[in-house]
Amino acid sequence: GIVAEGELTMRWRFSPDVVDAATVQTLIDTFATRIRALAQHCAAADPEKTASDFPLSGLAQAELETLGLPLAEVEDIYPATPLQQGLLFHSLLQEGQGVYVNQLRLTLAGAPDRSLFRAAWEAAVARHDVLRTHFELHHGGAALQIVHRQVTLPFAEHDWSGEGAQDYEARLSIWRAEDIARGFDQAAAPLMRVNLFVRPDGGCDVVWSNHHALADGWSTARLLMEIMDDYRSLRSGGSVRARGAFSYRDYVVWRNKQPESADWWRTQGLQTVPAAKLSDAAPAPALPRPGSQRSKHRLSQVEVDRLVAAARRRQVTLSTLIHGAWAVVLARYSGRRNVVFGTTVSGRPSELPGAEQMVGLFINSLPLWVNVPDDKQLTEWLHELQQHGSALREHEGTPLAHVQHWVGQSGSDLFDSLIVFENYPVDARLRGDLSGIQVAGIEVRNRTNYPLVLVVTTDSAIELEWEWDTSRLDESTFNRLAEHYLEILGQLAEPREPRLGEIVLSGSRLTGPSADYGFRSVMERITERATLDAEREAVSFEGERLSYGALGAWSNRLGRRLKRLGVRRETRVGLCVERSLGLVAGVLGILKAGGAYVPLDPAYPQERLAEMLADSGIRVVVADRTSAEQRAGLLAGLDVVLLEDVPFGTVPAGTVAAGTVPAGTVPGGNLPVGDAADEDVAGWVEPVHPEQLAYVIYTSGSTGRPKGVGVTHRNLARLLDATAEWYRFGPDDVWPLFHSYAFDVSVWELF
């Protein structure tokens, strides 16, 4: 068989001694009939695509068929980028909350020709493949982008010209909120819609809503300019621009070929661990409420001029000053030198032909770890910050999930505040005459999954737009943060050359209004309760119950024994006790002696306990007999007070409830340094200074070595006072000790 000059010619050869000529002729005629029928079928049948037509999808034929797509209408299938997948995931996770729904409002002075205006929008959808895309997430693999050959753009018109001006704005605001809450069905293209509203003043509002997985800010600006250019052309009798030579598919292909940069990211993560996030700097609201709030602040021209001059003088970009100010705020609020927050990078690779002309989602949000050392000169530090930002841009295409894995924080947020620096001219190209209409205003609404986002736009002025999650940040806390940010930004713009330690927040605004609870130590409160209700049940465990009187007598004896062993104010005393009634008595006895208790959970590994003992300088340990025997080697050479050797003592009849081990029935024994059975059960007044150490709890050590955190009696008292109104516990309420007493939440539960 050969095809030449458009014709297929078949030549047949055969052996007459094997097959006769008549049989061969029948074979030839049958073959000719079948191949003509096949050709006629192919000429008339609708084309059908198979998995081989979509090589980037990675789908086998069976997997493609499972999707049930109308393949004749599908132009291409390729993977969603990691950032697109993240946005899709979070918008599904918080469905109905408008997460990652972008909404742009264009206020037009004058009324456009509606049919031509709509045609310009439809031309944009036809020109850019990403605008004709839906996403498949239910095939068992990574999300796929399904590009349709053509889609119908949802374009609706609303004549609200009969409304009063105020009623119009109120009605439009409600409509826009409902539109954002509607979100998008990710499995139905297009993930965008356009609504045109006729205003009472004769102008129009155009509301363009789209899923953020389709486009970033740069793409939005470019798309709007294309649409307005096409509208001008159509009004003058011309045509819309042709489809460009570059598509978002080119970026996906380029991106999938990029090498990973695991070593660089691991180095960044190790240099500044542990780094403070927003959650370490600002407390969660006492009464969290769902939703988000926005706040805008436009810098005055004087402030802008000072910042621009400072950037020029210090030879850094304006973006570096913006990021540096937030790093200082986080450092001051958290009290830590190392901080981390997110920064958004453009993600448009210079080496990819046509990247600037493509419409799609290129941006990426990545962690920026910053060291804020007090002794560093400001300009030197800003130069280092700028160099770090430049280095990060060389790795700006790295998926955030990969960074989390490489730095050992998979499943947790690397940062919880984000700075978006926008320097593309959204307004400038749109302000001119558009064949009878002008853009009088542009407003963008979008919501991310981050607790706090700062969007900085630098067009004719500098505008700071904040959005915060009201379940994570209350308004008063946000106001202080925003005020302090402006304060620090102003200090960075000053001509002086301070060290970072000299850049401080104004104290009055740092603390803000707070309740003055005075100071009553926890021990004073417990003693008062025990005096008033000696026979009331204080603590129970597995059927055993202990009254306030019995608990007081037990802890008094223990405290006196510890004082005889030299325990004084802030002496750190180890507590190596299994969960029991004696655990509570041990904590109280140590505090009554003036000491600070250090939890040594006997279930912890030997090496960890040994390091905690050495680091905290413990010489005295309160233990139960079982734990002391199990950890005998660890406690060798230390003064060990066994709880079983400190009897409950003589207390009023009935104060030890049924089931409690009465005095004298606990197996006796000797302390390594003497007998405590004769210690007085009476209480005494031990003065407690507010700044006196109450306890030391060690961190988990997940980021390296465990670190001891000391907490004062004032902090402990404020914890209880500040949260008293949340729960309003009374004498008849019971709180379970749910956590290990070596975990900080146990402090709240115990007291």
648-678 confidence digits (pLDDT tens): 543 333 333 323 333 332 223 333 333 445 5
Percentage of the residues of the chain whose pLDDT score is greater than 90: 55
Q: Which segment of 177-186, 414-423, 480-489 scores lowest on mean pLDDT?
A: 414-423
Q: Are 510 and 487 in contact (CB under 8 A)?
A: no
Q: Which segment of 129-133, 257-261, 566-570, 621-625 scores lowest on mean pLDDT?
A: 257-261
CA–CA gap between residue 219 and residue 356 (Å, rounded): 9
223-274 confidence digits (pLDDT tens): 998 998 899 899 889 998 887 778 999 999 998 888 888 889 888 877 666 7
Largest CA distance in the chain: 125
Q: Which segment of 43-57, 92-106, 305-319, 668-682 scores lowest on mean pLDDT?
A: 668-682
Q: What is the mean pLDDT of residues 61-73?
A: 91
The tokens describing 502, both together, are: 């000299």
Given a cut of 60, whether residue 22 has pLDDT beyond it is: yes
Given a cut of 90, whether residue 360 has pLDDT beyond it is: yes
The pLDDT value given to residue 278 = 92
Percentage of the residues of the chain whose pLDDT score is greater than 70: 91
Q: Please give the order of strands across the beta sheet that includes 462-469.
A: 292-298, 462-469, 452-458, 417-422, 338-345, 364-371
Q: Kindly calculate the radius of gyration of the chain based on its CA atoms and give it in whole angstroms.
A: 36
432 pLDDT band, cuts 50/70/90, is low
Q: What is the mean pLDDT of residues 52-71?
A: 92
Q: Is residue 202 packed enough to be buried (19+ CB in 10 Å), middle (13-18) or exposed (0-12)? A: exposed
The pLDDT value given to residue 662 = 34
CA–CA gap between residue 134 and residue 144 (Å, rounded): 8
Packing angle of the helix pair 548-564, 581-592 (nearest 10 deg): 50
Q: What is the mean pLDDT of residues 202-213?
A: 94
Task: Find the Cα–Cα–Cα–Cα dihedral 393, 398, 402, 403, rounded to 10°.
Answer: 10
Q: Are 654 and 673 in contact (CB under 8 A)?
A: no
489-527 confidence digits (pLDDT tens): 999 999 989 999 899 887 533 333 445 677 899 998 888
Of the ranges 217-226, 618-627, 684-693, 728-737, the best mean pLDDT one: 618-627
Phi/psi at 336 (nearest 5 deg)? -115, 155
Q: Which pTM was predicted?
A: 0.63
Residue with the bigger pLDDT between 436 and 562: it is 562
- The overall average pLDDT reported for the chain is 86
Could you count the other beta carbons within 10 Å of the beta carbon of residue 743? 15
699-709 confidence digits (pLDDT tens): 877 666 788 99
The pLDDT value given to residue 137 = 85
Q: What is the mean pLDDT of residues 33-56?
A: 91
CA–CA gap between residue 69 and residue 53 (Å, rounded): 14
CA–CA gap between residue 320 and residue 11 (Å, rounded): 76
The pLDDT value given to residue 678 = 59
463-484 confidence digits (pLDDT tens): 999 999 998 898 888 999 999 9
411 pLDDT band, cuts 50/70/90, is low
Of the ranges 516-525, 537-546, 726-735, the best mean pLDDT one: 537-546
Q: What is the mean pLDDT of residues 409-426?
A: 77
Residue with the bigger pLDDT between 260 and 560: it is 560
- DSSP string over 648-687: -----TT-S-TTS--TT-S----BTTB--TT---------
313-353 confidence digits (pLDDT tens): 999 999 999 999 999 999 998 888 899 999 999 888 888 89
Residue with the bigger pLDDT between 394 and 139: it is 394
Q: Which segment of 136-140, 390-394, 588-592 scores lowest on mean pLDDT?
A: 136-140
- DSSP string over 272-335: T-S-B-HHHHSPPPSS--SSEEEEEEEPPHHHHHHHHHHHHHHT--HHHHHHHHHHHHHHHHHT
Cβ-based neighbours of 108, under 8 Å, separated by 6 or more: 203, 204, 205, 206, 437, 438, 439, 440
Phi/psi at 93 (nearest 5 deg)? -65, -35
